[in-house]
Structure 1
Amino acid sequence: MSDTHAATGAGADIGTGADARTSTDTGADRHQPPYLTNHFAPVPDEVTAWDLTVRGAVPPELSGRYFRNGHNPGPGQKPTHWFRGAGMLHGVRLGGGRAEWYRNRWVRTLALEGAPLVRDDGTVDLTASVAGTHVIEHAGRILALQEANLPFEVSPELDTIGAYDFRGRLTTAMTAHPKEDPETGELHFFGYSSLPPYLTYYVADAQGELIRSRVVPGAGPTLMHDFGLTAHHTVWLDLPVVFDAEEHSGIPYRWSDTYRPRIGVMPRDGSAEPVWYEVEAGAMIHVTNAYEDAAGRIVVEGPRYDRSSWESSWKWWTGAPGHPPVPLVGSMRHRWVLDPVTGTAREERLDSLVTEFATINEALTGSAHRYTYTVAFPGAGLERYALVKYDALTGQRQIVDAGPGRMYGEPYFVPAAGGTAEDDGYLMTLVSDLARDASELLILSARDITRPPVAAVELPRRVPAGIHGSWIPDA
C-alpha cells in the first residue's frame, strides 16, 4: 500500500510526546485509571461560549451542529471501566460562515446520579443509562445512545429531554450504532442482552415510527456493539467476547476460546432466519461498512482484534495493571467475504496500522465504498496519533500526523454542496491538545486530508477525547 504523508503540529519530527504516557507517569496520575488522564481527563463543569475564533474560513454551506459524545465522569466519580463514565455531549453550531457557539452538557440520566443498571430485585432499569457512546438525529429527534439502555432525547441546545422508547414500542436496550438507509430514511437498529432472547432487530420508518421488530434466532450472548446493513441484508456479529458473570470490571464480558465465532446474514425484511458463517476467532467493535458485491457475496469491513490485542486494550479500558499506554492496540483493518453459494467465509487483513473509529461517506451505507477515514493509534510503526484516508481502488493511503501531544477524534464526513464524487466534502474532527490544554474542531478537505485545514474552530476549553459524533444539518 502506497502512502502520502503530512506532518502537523510542531513539525515532522516524530517523538513519543504526551500521548504515550501511561497513567503512572506522574504523581498526579499515579492512582487514576488511564481513561481519567491525559487526553481523556474529564472536565468538571458545563460551559457555553459564543462567537468562536476561526482560523481559515468555515464553508458557508455548513449550516448546522456538530455534536460529539463521550464519557466524562463527574467530579469525584471513578468508574471501574472507561465505558461506564457519565455521558457528556459537546456541540459546535456553524452557520453563515461563522462558529456561533460551543457548549457542553452532561446527559442527565439516573446513572449520572449513581443509579445502577440492575435493580435490587434483579431487573434491569433501561433508563439508568450513561448515554455516553454516540449521538444521532433521526426524524427530528436527537438521541444520545448507550447500548445497554434506552436512548435519551436531547434538545438542539443539548438539554436533556428524557428517555425515549418509540412511544412504548421499544422494550429492550438500543444499540449505539443504528444505521439509516440513505435511500428510504429508515433507521435500522437492534438490542442485545446477556439473557434470552439475546438479539432483537428493529426498524423505524423515516417519520420515526417503530414499524418492525423481530427476535433474531440463533444469536448468542456476545458483546454485539455494532452490525452491518446492506441493500438487502443485516449482518450480525456473533464473535467470541461473551457474557461472563465472573468479569467484575463493570462490563461483564470476556474473551472465550471455546465460543464458536460466526457472522450471520439475514434478510432485512425478516423473511428468513440468519445464515451463519464460521470465521476465525476475532473481535470487532465497529463495522466500517457492509455491502453486496457483484457476485452476490456479502462484504464486511472493520477493525479486527485478535485475543491478545483485545485483552491488552481491555486492560486500558479497565485500568488494570500492565495496561498499554494508549486505549487501543492491535486493531487492524479487516475484510470478510461471505459467499452464499459455498456457505464459507474468506477473510484478509487490509493494513498493518492500528486503527479505530473508521467512517465513510454515509450516502454509501450498505453499498460498495471507495474511501475510508479513520484514526490511527501509536503502534505498528507510528509513534503519534494520526488521521488516515484509505483508497480501496488505488490502494493508496494518506496519513496526517496529529503532532506532539495531540490526538484526533473520529472523523465525520460531510458532503459539499453540489459535490458529485464520493469524497467531495469535508471531514470534521475534534482535536485534543495537551500542551495547550485546548481543543479545536478541524474542518478538512476530504479529497486531500494532507492539505492545511479549511478551518480550525478554537474551542474555549480542552474537550476530552471521546467516542462518536454526528453532523446535524439545519435542512
Structure 2
Amino acid sequence: MPTAAPHLAGNYAPVTEELTSHGLAVTGSLPKELTGWYLRNGPNPHEATAAHWFMGQGMVHGIRLEGGRATAYRNRWVRTSTFTEGATMFDEFGNRDLTAGSANTHVVRHAGHTLALAEACLPYRLTADLDTVGPHDFDGKLTTAMNAHPKTCPVTGELHFFGYGMLAPPFLTYHRADAAGNLTLSRPVDEVGATMMHDFALTAQHVIFMDLPVVFDINRAMAGDTLPYRWDASYGARIGVLRREEPHAAIRWFDIEPCYVFHVSNAYDDGDSIVLQVVRYPRLWVADSAEAYPDATLWEWTVDLDAGKVTEVQLDDRSTEFPRIDDRLVGQNARHTHTIIAAAHPSHDAVPGALLRYDMHTGAVAEHTFGPGRIPSEAAFAPADDRAGGAGWLMTYVYDAARDTSDLVVVDVSDMAAEPVATIHLPQRVPYGFHGNWLPDPR
C-alpha cells in the first residue's frame, strides 16, 4: 500500500463523516458564563485527497456550550460550488468564478451572518447548524474574493477586508462594510504585484498592508500539483500605510527586510508611529530548499511616520504561530497576545504542544503545556465579562496522538500553568486546521 502524503496522514488526514452528537462528556467544570458556539474551520478533502494541505475543502467543527454544559458537537463541510458542482476558479475562457473555492480557512460572524472564508473565493454563509446557505457577495457589490482575516473595528463595528488576484491588476482591492453589513467601500490598490497577501492590520487611524516576496507563479499554477506561489527575494518587502479617514488617498510604503507573514497579532497607533506585531518567517517556499517552513517567531515592527522608516525587533526566539488577542481590542494597545507551539505544518515533526500568553508590555511569557503527543490548534479568546482585555479563557482543539482522538480544552488565562478548567471529549478526531472563533449568543 502506498504511503500517504504527510498532509494526508496522522492528524492531517481528513475525517469522512459529518456527525451530530449531544451531551458531550466533560472533565473539569465548564464556566457557566460561556453560552454559544466554538467554531473552527480547516481543510478536509471530500475525496480524501488533495495536492497540498491548504487545498482541501473546508469543514467547520463546532461545539455548543450552554450554562456549564457541552450540549452538542457538529461538523459540516462547507458546500461551495467546487464541492457541489466541481466548479473551478477559471472557466475555459479565463472567466473568474468567485463562488469556486474551498472556504476552508476561517469562520467569523459579522452583522448577524456566520461566514466561512478562504482568500480565493467569496465568503459562504452558514446557518446556526453549520449548514451552507450559499455565497455571500454583499448584495452583488463584492466583485473580488474576500481574504480570510477580516478585521472588525471594535469602535465602529465596521468590517475591513481585502481581496487579491493573480492574473490581472488590480491585484489588491481594499473593502469596508458597515456594522449593518452593507459594503460601503471598494478601493483598488494599483501599485501591488501578484503576491500572496494573507493578512493585514488595522489600527484606530490606519490600515496596514504587507507586500512581501511570495509571488504568483503561472507555471506552478498550470501544473496544479502544488500551491502556485514561490519565494522571490528580488521582489522586495514593504509595509503600506493608508489613513482610514482618507481611504482613497495615496498609500505610503516603507521598506523592510525580506520575510513572510501569514498572521498579524495586532497593531496600534503610538503618537506619530504605528506598532505592528506579527509572526514572521525569514523566508518561505524557496525553490530547491528542503526547508519549506522555517521557524516563525514573534516580531514587532515600529513604523515611524515622520522619519519614514521601520524598526524591526524580534520579541522571542520560540517557534510559534496562530497569534490571537481579545478581538475587542483590535487596533488598540492590547496587552496580551496568545500563540501556540505545535506542529503547525506537515513538514514539521510533532513537538510537545503548548499555549503561550505574551505580555506585550513587560515581555513576560506564561505557558500552558499539554504533555507529550498532545498538540493544540489555534486558541481563540473567550471573555468572561464586558471588560476588554480582562478575565477569560483560551479555547483550543487538542489532538491526542496516543488515543487518536481530540478534545476541546478550556484554559484560564489568569493561571496558564494550571490544569485546564475543562476538557470536552469529542466523538471523533478533529484534524489539524486553521482558524476559528468563540461566538457567544447575542444578548
TM-score for the superposition, normalised by structure 2: 0.93
Alpha-carbon contact 2:326-2:388 (below 8 Å) kept: no
Q: Aligned-pair distance for 1:115?
A: 2.7
Where structure 1 has 5 or more consecutive residues not aligned to the other structure, the ranges are 1-27, 316-320
Is residue 392 from structure 1 mapped to residue 360 from structure 2 by the alignment? Answer: yes
Q: Aligned-pair distance for 1:118?
A: 1.7
Where structure 2 has 5 or more consecutive residues not aligned to the other structure, the ranges are none
Q: In 1, Cα distance between the equivalents of 2:308 and 2:171?
A: 24
**What does residue range 295-374 of structure 1 map to in structure 2 within 5 Å?**
295-307=271-283, 310-311=284-285, 328-374=293-339
Give the secondary-structure state (helix, strand or coil) at the position aligned to 1:287: strand
Give the secondary-structure state (helix, strand or coil) at the position aligned to 2:437: strand
- Structure with bigger strand share is 2
Q: In 2, Cα distance between the equivalents of 1:166 and 1:421?
A: 30
Q: In 2, Cα distance between the equivalents of 1:265 and 1:363?
A: 22
Q: Aligned-pair distance for 1:251?
A: 2.5
Task: Encode CA deviations 1:402-434: one digit per residue, 9 max, x unaligned.
Answer: 22222101011111125x472411111111112
Q: In 2, Cα distance between the equivalents of 1:323 and 1:201?
A: 33
Q: Aligned-pair distance for 1:400?
A: 2.3
Give the secondary-structure state (helix, strand or coil) at the position aligned to 1:284: strand
Q: Aligned-pair distance for 1:144?
A: 0.3
Alpha-carbon contact 1:218-1:274 (below 8 Å) kept: no
Q: In the alignment, what sits opposite 1:282?
A: 259
Q: In 2, Cα distance between the equivalents of 1:173 and 1:289?
A: 23
Give the secondary-structure state (helix, strand or coil) at the position aligned to 2:285: helix
Code of the residue aligned with 2:329 in structure 1: it is L
Give the secondary-structure state (helix, strand or coil) at the position aligned to 2:261: coil
Deviating more after overlay: 165-174 vs 220-229? 220-229
Q: In 2, Cα distance between the equivalents of 1:126 and 1:250?
A: 20
Give 1:80's match in structure 2, choosing from 37, 40, 51: 51
Is residue 115 from structure 1 mapped to residue 87 from structure 2 by the alignment? Answer: yes
Alpha-carbon contact 2:15-2:44 (below 8 Å) kept: yes
Aligned-residue identity in percent: 46
**What does residue range 60-99 of structure 1 map to in structure 2 within 5 Å?**
60-75=32-47, 77-99=48-70
Structure number with higher relative contact order (C-alpha < 8 Å, ≥ 6 residues apart): 1
Give 1:198's match in structure 2, choosing from 159, 162, 171: 171
Task: Encode CA deviations 1:61-92: one digit per residue, 9 max, x unaligned.
Answer: 111101100000124x4211111101101000
Structure-2 change in CA distance of 1:82 and 1:46 (3 Å): same
Q: In the alignment, what sits opposite 1:234?
A: 207
Alpha-carbon contact 2:404-2:429 (below 8 Å) kept: yes
Q: In the alignment, what sits opposite 1:260?
A: 236
Q: In the alignment, what sits opposite 1:144?
A: 116
Q: In the alignment, what sits opposite 1:25?
A: none
Q: In 2, Cα distance between the equivalents of 1:213 and 1:273?
A: 15
Is residue 129 from structure 1 mapped to residue 97 from structure 2 by the alignment? Answer: no
Task: Encode CA deviations 1:161-195: one digit per residue, 9 max, x unaligned.
Answer: 00110000000000010000011111000101112
Q: Aligned-pair distance for 1:392?
A: 1.7
Alpha-carbon contact 2:329-2:388 (below 8 Å) kept: no
Q: Aligned-pair distance for 1:148?
A: 0.5
Cα root mean square deviation, aligned: 2.1
Structure-2 change in CA distance of 1:468 and 1:383 (3 Å): closer
Give the secondary-structure state (helix, strand or coil) at the position aligned to 1:285: strand
**What does residue range 141-180 of structure 1 map to in structure 2 within 5 Å?**
141-180=113-152
Q: In 2, Cα distance between the equivalents of 1:250 and 1:197?
A: 24
Q: In the alignment, what sits opposite 1:4?
A: none
Code of the residue aligned with 2:186 in structure 1: it is S
Q: In 2, Cα distance between the equivalents of 1:323 and 1:464?
A: 23
Q: In the alignment, what sits opposite 2:31?
A: 59
Alpha-carbon contact 1:39-1:407 (below 8 Å) kept: no
Q: In the alignment, what sits opposite 2:218?
A: 245
